[in-house]
Structure 1
Amino acid sequence: MRRMMVTGAAGFIGANFVRYWLEAYPEDVIVIVDALTYAGNRANLEGVLSERCSLVECDINDTDTIKGLLRDQHLTTIVHFAAESHVDRSIEGPDAFIEANILGTHSLLKAARQVWQIEGLAVDQHRFHHVSTDEVYGSLASDDPAFTESTAYAPNSPYSASKASSDFLVRAYHHTYDLNVTTSNCSNNYGPYHFPEKLIPLIIINLLHGKSLPIYGDGKNIRDWLYVEDHARGIELVLNKGAVGETYNVGGVNEWTNIDIVRLICELMDERFASNQALAAQYPACPAAQGQRCDSLISFVTDRAGHDFRYAIDTARIRDELGYEPAVDFETGIRRTLDWYLSNAEWWKAVLDGSYRLQGESVSATA
C-alpha cells in the first residue's frame, strides 16, 4: 500500500492521475496538495475526495506545511504535478513561473529530504516523482529525430526554462543527497478537465459560442498529443518499475500540426450537430447550428514570440524497459474529449465565469 502526496491534483493532469490511481489501487491513500490558483479547480475532484483521498489547500513553497504532512500522514511517495504551465502566461509574466516551478520544486525536495532521510521516516522506500514536459528539449525541425532522454536541454520560453531548472534540481538531489527520484517528460496532454485556455478545449468552446478560432502563424507547428489517461499509465509504470535516478519520456506517438487538429475538431463538431438536433438549440451561435461549416471560424494571427516549431517524443526507452504503449488511439481520444465537453457544460461554464476570458484569446498549443 502506498501513502502518496500528489501536488497540483486539482489541475487537469493531476486530477486525471488521481482518478486513475484511486481506481487502480483501492487500498492506497492520497493527500492532494494544491494552492487552488486559477487552473486549480475543486470541481475537478468531484466524487474523488474521501477518507483515503483528502485535499489540503497549500502552496508548495510552504515547506513547513509540506514537512508536517509528510510526517503526520506518513507519506512515502510524492508525485509532483504542481506547476505554472501556459507558455503565453510565462511570456507575459515569468515571475510566477520561477516561483512555482523552480522554488516550489526546491521546497518539496527540501521537505522530502528532511523528513525521509534526515529524520529517517522512509530512508529506503521513499520516491519523489517529478512530472515535466518535452518543451525542455527546445524545438525540432520537421525532419529531426524525436526527443530522447539524452537530448540536450534547450528551453526557449520562460515556462520551459523554469521546468528545465526544476528537472535539474531533482537530478541534483539524487546525485548529491541520494534522494530516490524519477522524472517523466511528457508530450501535450488532452482529455477531460483540460483548462479552457489550452488548444483543444479552447477550440471546442469557441466553436460552441461562434467565436473566432485564432491560429498562430500559419498553423503548421507540430505537437505530439497524449491522452491524459495514457500519461497516468506511464507514470504508474515509472513508479512501479522505473529505475531510481532515471528519466522516462512519455509520449502519444501522435504528431499533428495545429491547423490539422483544429480542422479535425471542426469536422467532428459538424458531425455532432448533424446527428444531435438538440445541440443547435443549446448552442445557436455555433456555425453548425446555422447550417454552416465550423471551419469558417478559423483565422490566422501573428505568431507568438519564441514559438517552438515541433515537439516529438521517442518512447523507445519507456516502451522497451517498462512495457509502455499508449492504450487510447487519437481518434478515440479526441472523440471522447469532445463528447466530455459537450456533456459537461456546467464545468467549463463555471471555469469561464470564474477566471477565463473567452473573447480575444489566441490559440496556444501547450500541454
Structure 2
Amino acid sequence: MNILVINAGSSSIKYQLIDMDTELPLASGLVERIGLEEGVVKYKTFVNGEKKELKETFPIPNHTVGLKRVAELLTDEKVGVISDPSEIQAVGHRLVHGGEAFTKTVEITEAVKAKVKELFPLAPLHNPANLIGVEVAETVFPNAKQVGVFDTAFHQTIPEKAFRYAIPVEFYKEMGIRKYGFHGTSHKFVSEQAAEYLGKEDAKIITIHLGNGASMAAVNGGVCVDTTMGMGPLCGLIMGTRSGDIDPAIIFFLAEQKGYSVNEISSLLNKESGMKGLTGQTDMRDVEKLLDEGDENAILACDMYAYRIKQFIGSYAAVMNGVDALVFTAGIGENKTSIRKLVCQDMGYLGIEWDEEKDKNRTDGVHEINTDNAKTKVLIIPTNEELEIARQTLEVVK
C-alpha cells in the first residue's frame, strides 16, 4: 500500500509518499510560498537507491494548485514513482489540535471536519490550514481514504490532575482550557522505539524533542502521563523563538508598565523570545558559533536551555517514580552533542551518566550514549513523524 502523508500549513504543504510494504519513502518534498507572487515546489524521489531532486518556481495561488502539481510530479513519465494517482490508497494528514474530541487516529468524515472546525479557536494558526489540506486532498485524490492523525492525541492519556489548571472550573468545562500538549506523533514514535530497544513494555521513558519548537513527555509503559507544552505550544522548554515557562505576572507588568497589547505580548513571547531573545540567534548552529567565541550571552542561554530540561527530567522521574531511559530526538536533540552534555552532567543521582566517546561515535538508528555502568539509558533516536503518521493511517484503513 502507498500512503501519502501531508502536513499542510497556511502557506505550505510538506508531503511524503511511503511504500508501506518497505516503510521507505518513494518521494517527498515541500510546496511553499503559497499565495505569494512566486511559489516553490521541491520534489525528491528515492528509487532503487538513487535519489533525484528538482525544484520549480511558479505562481501557486492556492493549496489546490500546489497539490495538483505534486500529483503530476508523482505520476510524471520521467520523475514519477507511480503511474496513476489511484495508486495512492490513503492520505494521512497531520492535524495539530484534536482537543478532547479525538484521542486516536480517525478516518476523516464530514462530521470529523465539522469538529475540527469547532476546534479552530484552540489552534487558529494550524487547524484551518490543516483542514484546507484535507479538503484539497479529497479533490486531488478522490479514490483515497483521508485519515487524520492528531498531534494532541498521544497526550490524551494524561490524568486530569496533570492536565487541569487551577482556575475556575467553568473555564475548563465551557471553553476547554487545559493542557493538551503537542509533538505527540514524535513522542509516540521515539518512545515506542526506546521501549523496543530496552525490551521492556513497562519502561519509564522521558522523551526530549528538541527542534526550533521543543517539548518533553513522560511515558510510562507506553502511556503518556505528562508533557511540557500546554493549551498552546508556548510553555515548557526554552525554544528557538518561544520563551517557554514564565511567571504570568510578567504579562501583566508589560501591559501595565509598557502599554503592550495582547497581540504585542503574544508576538514577543512566541516570536522574539527563547534563544532569539537571549542571543539574537534562533538556529542552534549559530548559537554554537557564539559559544566557540566565548560569547557570554550564548553561554548563559545554553545553560538556561539545559537547566530547564533538567528540571523537567527531575519532575517526570518523580511523577513516574523512576526513569529507565532518556531519549533525545529532533534536529537539536539528535545533532547537538554540547546540549546533551549540558543536560546529562551532574545527574548521577538519577543514574544518568553521559559517555563522550559514545556520543561522538554515533551510529544510525537507536544509539546509546550512557556509560556502560549507568543505571539509566541515554539514547539518541531519530524521529520520523511521517512514518508514524503513515503507520497510524494504515491501522485505520487496512
TM superposition score category, shorter chain reference: 0.3 to 0.5
Question: Higher strand share goes to which structure?
Answer: 2
TM-score by length of 1: 0.33
The structure with higher relative contact order (CA 8 Å, sep 6+) is 1
- Which has the higher Rg, Structure 1 or Structure 2? 2
What's the TM-score, normalizing by structure 2? Answer: 0.31
If each structure's helix is expressed as a fraction of its own residues, which one has the higher value? 1
